[in-house]
Amino acid sequence: MEVVIGGVPTLTQVAAGAVERLLRSRPETVLGLATGSSPLAVYDELVRRHTETGLSFARARAFLLDEYVGLPADHPQRYRTVIEREIASRVDFAPGAVQGPDGTAKDLAAACREYEATIADAGGVDLQILGIGTDGHIAFNEPGSSLASRTRIKTLTEQTRADNARFFGGDVAAVPRHVLTQGLATIMAARHLVLLATGRRKAEAVHQMVEGAVSALWPASVLQMHPHVTVLLDDAAAGRLQLADHYRQTWQHKPDWQQV
């Protein structure tokens, strides 16, 4: 894992830069998009680069990590709607190029299998943007998730429902209990993982992910087994890292030719 500790503007530039490099070198890039507040600044920066420098998504495709079960198509917090609002509608993706798991499907298990097949048919995800939950979840893989899991239905922890209540007018009861989520093995199959975390509330989950034992108790810790992960943290989220000074020095002395 490469750990970068810096201010939000720096983290945003590093993440957007990685996406831009891919899109410029291979316009058919397959992106993995995350919801939540952590990636929003990156999406804004990608939109800016699209508008001001002509960065194009016209031949790219994108897959969402997860979706609430049962939220109707016009619900503002449905993740497919959120992604449309935050990035997809603001750049030039082709119609149908952005897809997510279908949380309204009658047969949810079949929808999960189809989603896995669609990602595979697209050639897999080149760069996956990730956030992390305070309980160490990535996508909606809550503690106890199989490290070998694929897209499936999951039940949210009360902690995650409380964390996400802010998107539902502060009403925990309005946060769906069930979700569809790419599994940990699905996420691990992406070729480059770029995870963003800010704020003190993420510090323990970040510590467990980067420096703890690989364990289903802290699902993000499985990323230690991935060959290409970039973890982008502000000082607060990095607050419990044992090797923080080493990560800072490594970044400071990173050879110019080496990219994230």
Q: Which residues are catalytic?
A: 66, 135, 137, 142
Among 57, 63, 140, 168, binds ligand GLP (CB under 6 A): 140
Least spacing, CB of residue 252 vs ligand GLP, in Å: 27
Residue closer to ligand GLP (CB basis): 38 or 55: 38
d(CA 168, CA 165) in angstroms, rounded, equals 5
Least spacing, CB of residue 134 vs ligand GLP, in Å: 8
Residue type, 238: A
Binding residues for ligand GLP, rule CB under 6 A, total: 14
Residue 34 binding ligand GLP, by CB under 6 A: yes
List Cα–Cα distances, 67 to 32, 104, 168, 182, in angstroms: 13, 9, 15, 9
Least spacing, CB of residue 28 vs ligand GLP, in Å: 25
Residues 6+ apart with CB under 8 A from 221: 136, 208, 209, 212, 213, 214, 215
Could you identify the residue written with the tokens 């897209």?
Answer: 151
Residue 35 binding ligand GLP, by CB under 6 A: yes
d(CA 206, CA 216) in angstroms, rounded, equals 14
Least spacing, CB of residue 39 vs ligand GLP, in Å: 7
Say if residues 225 and 260 touch (Cβ distance below 8 Å): no
Residue 65 binding ligand GLP, by CB under 6 A: yes
Residue closer to ligand GLP (CB basis): 220 or 244: 220
Residue closer to ligand GLP (CB basis): 36 or 219: 36
Residue 220 binding ligand GLP, by CB under 6 A: no
State which of positions 92-131 bind ligand GLP (CB under 6 A): 131
Say if residues 130 and 194 touch (Cβ distance below 8 Å): yes
Residue 66 binding ligand GLP, by CB under 6 A: yes
Say if residues 65 and 39 touch (Cβ distance below 8 Å): no
The structure tokens listed for 257 are 């030719």
Say if residues 179 and 214 touch (Cβ distance below 8 Å): no
* Cross-strand pairs, 195: 130, 231
Residue 139 binding ligand GLP, by CB under 6 A: yes
State which of positions 37-56 bind ligand GLP (CB under 6 A): 37-38
Which residue ranges make up the site for ligand GLP (CB under 6 A)?
A: 34-38, 65-66, 131-133, 139-140, 160, 164
